[in-house]
Structure 1
Amino acid sequence: MGCECSSSSSDGNETLIMAASIALLAAGILLEIQGSMISILFLFAAIVAAGYRIFPAAVRSVLRGHFTVHVVILIAVIGAIALGDYTEAALVTVLYQIAEYLEEYAHRRSHRSVESLIKLRPRTARVLNGGERIMGVEEVEEGSTIGVKPGETIPLDGNVTRGTSQVDQSTITGESLPVTVGEGDEVFAGTQNLDGYLEVRVTRTAGATVLEGVIETVRRASLRRSRRERFIERFASIYTPTVTGLAALTAIIPVLAGGDPITWIYRALVLLVISCPCALLISTPVAMVSGMTAAARRGILVKGSEFLEKMASAGCIIFDKTGTLTEGKPEVIAVEPEERRDEILRIAASLEMKSGHPIAEAIVESYGGRTLDVTDFRSIPGRGVSGYIDGVRYTLGSPELAGGEATGGTEVHLAGPDGIIGIIRLRDSIRGSAGRITERLRERGIGTMMLTGDSEDTAAAVAAEIGADEYRGGLLPEDKMRIIRGLNSRGITVMVGDGVNDAPALAAADVGIAMGVRGSDVALETADITLVEDDLERIDELIDISRRTMDIIRVNTGLTVAVKLSLAVLSVIGLVPLWVAVAVGDMGLSLFVITGSLLIARV
């Protein structure tokens, strides 16, 4: 809390000092208009008030041998005072103080999402192990059971073990509508329990929650700079000394040729002020942080601005199949013979009621009716189950166990005393969003490819259903990595995956995207971007945010360079006064850049 108060107090002091310097400047100009000599005192006071941070920073830069923007402003102010123009000197200092204030405000706004997320972090949890106790969230261990009353914030990630409620998950998933959760469903720290009592088994400790991951990702995102940010910094490091040199030549050459020293020194000072690259330097980072904040609000965690930049130019997006394009759980797609479907499913579901295998759950769910009593139930690990129903022994399992022949794909055979009764065919259920995302990517001109360790036949069927442009089946992890490396000629490659076996491919791609809920720890660590809610359609939103961000950066950069070059030309021929150089060429451009960049977060 101490840091927050200090920061708030510092912001308030800056605002008061800026207001005082503006008031002193206004008073000085009014007194000067009236011809009062006291105006110089007010103007000088405005210079001191506005430059209390600028001038010391300039001196420190000179002592370190650096030529910063603060040095440029100090030279301009000294030059104006030397020429006897206190009004110009005060205007330059105050306007630059406002420009710096706006820049700092932009950075505060860009990073305010981290502070708001930190406020969401609950401090205590109601632990139910061995009686109800209120404990600090840092003390609660994985596997503990916690209670969450209506209206409370869920303190830790976990699975619901008891109760049903509506939960507002917008802070984590970006979904504005509450979701209904019940036994077995996952809930996240920092989300709001609305109307029911829940008991939750903790699956992640305080330092490992999804919310904590969001906070850390947003906090560290600005540390990884994009290629464009690095270019802008290099450009500014060349641009400023070059224009400063031109300003010096503007002052020296005409004077040597017989020109008026005061006129040309003044014009040189104007050119020097125009060279300040403030708006140019903030045009990219503020937009990038704003873009990453907009993505985080939608449940998309981007680990650095370089990945947001790359997503705008994605040429091919490669998807892992299992757990990414599919749900990672099987579903019944056919029963043969079809005319005996109900009978086959009823017997199979009755046998599988006592099994916890995913295939068993799919068969029971597909039948959905009342099952029959089973006696002498037996489970053969890895092969199937058997038991008596109405005095008849049935066997359900692999073709080898049931005495049938495999015909391809995932299938179980049901056998009775006289042989095979029927075949149940299953497949991994495809995500509802899989087909929609491939269609949207195709509309954007982005190619899609599916990679899987499953057979070519299974790969072909899934690829055809979701509309993937290409597919590869029967792959090992190293095969996926090799294929991605071979796609470099198509431009920026993006890999989307969830498992440990996807980690090499996620690392090999230009951008790796991990599924946040199903994703393994290795995949989440390796990936550059995480989809908190496992919603593939968020990729389309991410591309939209990244392209809007890059468009705004291009506008910011182009306009800044164009305005500064135009003012530079006009200043040499004497058409731009010193205060206009700061008001338009520095403060005005900074305000435009900041406003445009912050709007990204509201897209």
Structure 2
Amino acid sequence: MTATTTAANPDAPATAPRYEISVGGMTCAACAARVERRLNKLDGVSASVNYATERAQVSCGPDVDPRLLVEQVQRAGYQARRVDDVAGADGDDDSEQARRVTDLRRRLAVAAVLAVPLCDLSLALSLFPELRFPGWQWVCLVLAAPVVGWCALPFHRVALAGARHGRSSMDTLVSGGVLASSAWSLWVMVAGGTPAPGLGQGLSVVNGGGHALYLEVAAGVTTFVLAGRYFEARAKRSAGAAMRALLTLGAKDVEVVRADGTRRVPVTELLVGDVFLARPGEKIATDAVVVEGRSALDVSTLTGEPVPREVGVGDQAVGGAVNVGGWLRLRATRVGADTQLARMARLVRDAQQGKAAAQRLADRVAAVFVPAVLALAALTAAGWLLAGQPAGLALTATVAVLVVACPCALGLATPTAVLVGTGRGASLGVFIKGPAALEATRAVDTVVLDKTGTLTEGRMRLVDVRPASGQASAELLAMAGAVEAASEHPIAAAITAEAGAVPAVTEFEALPGLGARGLVDGRAVVVGREPLLAELGMAVPDELRAGRGELERAGATVVLVGWDGHARGLLAVADTVRTTSAAAVAALRGLGLHPMLVTGDNAGTAAAVAAEVGIDDVVAETLPADKVDVVRRLQRDGHRVAVVGDGVNDAAALAAADLGMAIGAGTDAAIEAADIVLAREDLLVVPDAVELARRTHRTIRGNLWWAFGYNVAALPLAMTGLLSPLVAGAAMSLSSVFVVSHSLRLRAFRPNR
């Protein structure tokens, strides 16, 4: 069962089982609100339903049978199925969306072919009564009947199903308006009198008459609503294209090296540790390390990097990347749901299911919207009749009220923008975890940057080994390498790479921000900063202190190595500042953000790096707790803080920040704590992420303003007869199309550097 985002109830236990359910048959935000309420009525269940993605995220107690969740949705009158596989589910959903678009296009074509001549005929007969011929009304009926019957059948079917379950939706309003117009017209034709075309002369209904036929209204409203649904369905399918593209990036099969030779197997059979081949032009089957060969990998579809990445023996390769160079032999390090591609897909999926605070308000409005419109329609009919107006005019105004209201726009305002924004972000290497991250970017004014692996490449190399007097360099490096071999820190990797074959380490312990220690050949070896050695009672000779100062002034990072109560020497590693770091810092300033460098490294190295990239505000030699204190201090001073980091040292600060950004190649702890994950190692992705998040949030606000404003303005106009039903139907359809189209503009987002 697919694990997803937190559901609606924030008090639900963190360890509660979480399920994802695909909900079919929803036609507006009121439907989503109804399903959500129905699920939340179950004991121990907290659910969040997204109308745009047609998914329900459910958190429940361990004693709740997930089959009960599906049954609860089905009892509400909707289709439901459990989603067990993200990729497969998205493929099924895409097929269903394609079928829906095809069906709507077919019905829209028939409706348009019949409604256009019907409306033209009605208009001509309204303007020129002398053109009316015997039986003209029956010609109108012949043209209108297929539209009202077959073309509008989806609306009638959903409205009838809703009535059986005691619920109403957008389709209730449309079906009610179409059937009321048709029934009135039939009554006038059968009851006698002198029927007249009901199209009128203008945009209002006040030109109608007591014996007007409204067949063209029924056909026109059906056509307009079908057109709106068709373009909305196409736009929603297009909005999810980025997510589907991300899920299809993975390879389908792979050439695995076995003891009896090589053979191609489905990628699902690949295991961690398996050796496989990647020939030029093939996709890398899964996350792996190169064990033989050299090539360039095109990772543009995964991270947005335009330039292929060179890899050789010992380098990491990301599953889904395309091998554009030479032949590679690789060993799988992660498979299935643990790969970076699968994790990024889950981030996008979870983000698209989340709800912003503003959307929750819209959902509450949508939940009572349709009943309120039905009540307004009844009041409209009563008001016109009490005012002494003909029943035909009262009916026309009532129909206008029914078809002009649009809860769909409310339901689509946030999720479509999030859907497109997160999809566009994925193509740029920016993975936004949810609407909360979008909201946080609005007020962020300070960006705290880590140094190693963030401003710098994080690929350190050992530049100097200085043993204390009487200590052999080889033994010093071997002891340090043994301890660091168990660490994932970039400094440790540089030392281990130079140390070569090292003894085994036991009782290893990482000390975030200070160093590491372990037992090597029966000796307790410590590798780290001077305060750590001092805390353990290890004396540091003056010669090592002097050497440390000299190397740090040159921009190197220095660690001390000690055992048996004494510091035995020091190791200096150097990192290279990313070529884009200075431009990224300038871009952050251009967005109105104040950059800071907060690092656990020494003050000399931190100052040298800060000067190179253009940062004035530096805090060095900080422990993880100190980084959190810096963030808290800035927040107490009234700042909204974003933190960018990649290591275990940064996880606490990322969690404490108003907005946490983790470099995607960083540690799992950092990625888990962050609000935004940056898949590219190019630091320019940070201002890109901020700009995209802000643009997406502005789109959401614009959509909501339109959705609320449209309904507030349109309903009074319809009630007072200032909108004809045809104009009302067109306006309703265009309101949803506008919201989705406005969101789709995010697909063209380009960073403004």
Alignment TM class, shorter chain as reference: 0.7 to 0.9
Query: What does the per-residue CA deviation read over 1:539-572, in whole Å, with 9 as the maximum and x for residues that have no partner?
Result: 1111222222233333333344444444444434
Corresponding residue for 2:691?
A: 544
Give yes or no for the alignment of 1:16 onto 2:117.
no
Look up the SS of the partner of 2:302 in the other structure. helix
Query: What does the per-residue CA deviation read over 1:145-201, in whole Å, with 9 as the maximum and x for residues that have no partner?
Result: 211111111111122222222322111111233333333332221121123211122
**Amino acid in the other structure paired with 1:525:** E
Mapped partners of 2:429, 2:545: distance in 1: 48
Mapped partners of 1:582, 1:494: distance in 2: 46
Sequence identity of aligned pairs in percent? 32
Gaps of 5+ in 2: 1-87, 126-132, 186-213, 467-472, 485-489, 499-522, 529-538, 561-569
Look up the SS of the partner of 2:458 in the other structure. strand
Summarize the alignment of residues 36-185 of structure 1 with structure 2, pairs less than 5 Å apart: 37-84=138-185, 85-130=214-259, 131-185=261-315
Mapped partners of 1:383, 1:491: distance in 2: 36
**2:406–2:735 Cα contact (<8 Å) kept:** no
TM-score, with structure 2 as normaliser: 0.66
**2:351–2:418 Cα contact (<8 Å) kept:** no
Corresponding residue for 1:514?
A: 662
Aligned counterpart in structure 2 of residue 591 of structure 1, from 737, 740, 753: 737
Corresponding residue for 1:601?
A: 747
Q: What is the Cα deviation at residue 456 of structure 1? A: 5.0
Mapped partners of 2:98, 2:386: distance in 1: 53
Stretch deviating more after TM superposition (145-154 or 99-108):
99-108
Mapped partners of 1:250, 1:7: distance in 2: 37
Change (3 A) 1:6 1:269: closer
Look up the SS of the partner of 1:134 in the other structure. strand
**1:497–1:513 Cα contact (<8 Å) kept:** yes
Look up the SS of the partner of 2:138 in the other structure. coil
**1:311–1:542 Cα contact (<8 Å) kept:** no
Mapped partners of 1:252, 1:83: distance in 2: 16
Q: What is the Cα deviation at residue 354 of structure 1? A: 13
Aligned counterpart in structure 2 of residue 202 of structure 1, from 306, 328, 332: 332
Give yes or no for the alignment of 1:270 onto 2:400.
yes
Give yes or no for the alignment of 1:432 onto 2:561.
no
**Amino acid in the other structure paired with 1:197:** W
The aligned length equals: 556
Aligned counterpart in structure 1 of residue 625 of structure 2, from 457, 465, 478: 478
Look up the SS of the partner of 2:240 in the other structure. helix
Mapped partners of 2:542, 2:265: distance in 1: 53
Stretch deviating more after TM superposition (289-298 or 250-259):
250-259
Give yes or no for the alignment of 1:579 onto 2:708.
no
**1:292–1:305 Cα contact (<8 Å) kept:** no
Q: What is the Cα deviation at residue 226 of structure 1? A: 1.7
Mapped partners of 2:686, 2:369: distance in 1: 37
Query: What does the per-residue CA deviation read over 1:39-87, in whole Å, with 9 as the maximum and x for residues that have no partner?
Result: 3133122112232222222233344443422222223223322432121
Change (3 A) 1:170 1:14: same
**1:29–1:87 Cα contact (<8 Å) kept:** yes
Summarize the alignment of residues 345-494 of structure 1 with structure 2, pairs less than 5 Å apart: 400=541, 405=546, 408=549, 409=552, 410-411=557-558, 427-456=574-603, 458-468=605-615, 470-488=617-635, 490=638, 492-494=640-642
Mapped partners of 1:71, 1:495: distance in 2: 49
Corresponding residue for 2:514?
A: none
Mapped partners of 1:269, 1:7: distance in 2: 30
**Amino acid in the other structure paired with 1:172:** L
Stretch deviating more after TM superposition (228-237 or 537-546):
228-237
Stretch deviating more after TM superposition (162-171 or 29-38):
29-38
**2:275–2:332 Cα contact (<8 Å) kept:** yes
Gaps of 5+ in 1: 337-347, 367-379, 385-397, 414-422
Corresponding residue for 1:307?
A: 437
Query: What does the per-residue CA deviation read over 1:482-525, in whole Å, with 9 as the maximum and x for residues that have no partner?
Result: 443444464543222222232222222233221111x1122222
Mapped partners of 2:640, 2:227: distance in 1: 40
Look up the SS of the partner of 1:83 in the other structure. helix
Change (3 A) 1:534 1:40: same
Look up the SS of the partner of 1:196 in the other structure. coil
TM-score, with structure 1 as normaliser: 0.81
**2:318–2:340 Cα contact (<8 Å) kept:** yes
Stretch deviating more after TM superposition (16-25 or 168-177):
16-25
Q: What is the Cα deviation at residue 137 of structure 1? A: 1.9
Aligned counterpart in structure 2 of residue 250 of structure 1, from 359, 380, 394: 380
Q: What is the Cα deviation at residue 296 of structure 1? A: 0.3
**2:384–2:393 Cα contact (<8 Å) kept:** no
**1:352–1:361 Cα contact (<8 Å) kept:** no
Corresponding residue for 1:188?
A: 318
Change (3 A) 1:335 1:216: closer
Q: What is the Cα deviation at residue 447 of structure 1? A: 2.4
- State the Cα RMSD in Å: 3.8
Q: What is the Cα deviation at residue 445 of structure 1? A: 1.3
Summarize the alignment of residues 275-290 of structure 1 with structure 2, pairs less than 5 Å apart: 275-290=405-420
Mapped partners of 1:298, 1:456: distance in 2: 34
